[in-house]
């Protein structure tokens, strides 16, 4: 997941033209400004990496749990019935 986030960051940083300053002391060229710009790009790319991970890998891990429940007062007509519960369906 982190590899995809870094790949997206590199692609975006290549595509975004960096501001050209005429004055080297301009506030655009400060290291803090560059760090904040890179962090913003990285943070905005993380949800896409997480979504790709969930779509590509976690959708294949389905958990099936079978429980036998004994109810004392269930009518005879309902013996042998099965109940299915589907949870956490996001796709």
- Per the CB < 8 A criterion, the answer to whether 61 and 29 are in contact is no
Give the separation between CA 17 and CA 24, rounded to whole angstroms: 17
Q: Tens digit of pLDDT per residue, the chain (91 long)?
A: 677 777 777 777 776 665 444 444 555 568 888 888 888 888 988 898 888 887 887 777 778 888 888 888 888 888 888 888 888 776 5
* Per-residue pLDDT, 42: 87
* Per-residue pLDDT, 23: 46
Angle at 71 between CA 69 and CA 77, to 5 degrees: 105
* Per-residue pLDDT, 22: 46
Helices marked H in 1-91: 2-15, 31-56
């Amino acid at each position: 997941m982190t590899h995809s986030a870094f790949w997206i960051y590199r692609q975006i940083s290549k595509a975004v033209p960096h501001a050209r300053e005429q004055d080297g002391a301009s506030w655009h060229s400060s290291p803090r400004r560059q760090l904040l710009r890179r962090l913003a790009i990285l943070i905005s790319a993380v949800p896409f990496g997480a979504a790709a991970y969930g779509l590509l890998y976690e959708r294949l891990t389905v958990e099936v749990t079978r429980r036998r429940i004994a109810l004392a007062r269930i009518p005879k007509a309902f013996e042998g019935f099965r109940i299915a519960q589907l949870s956490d369906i996001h796709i």
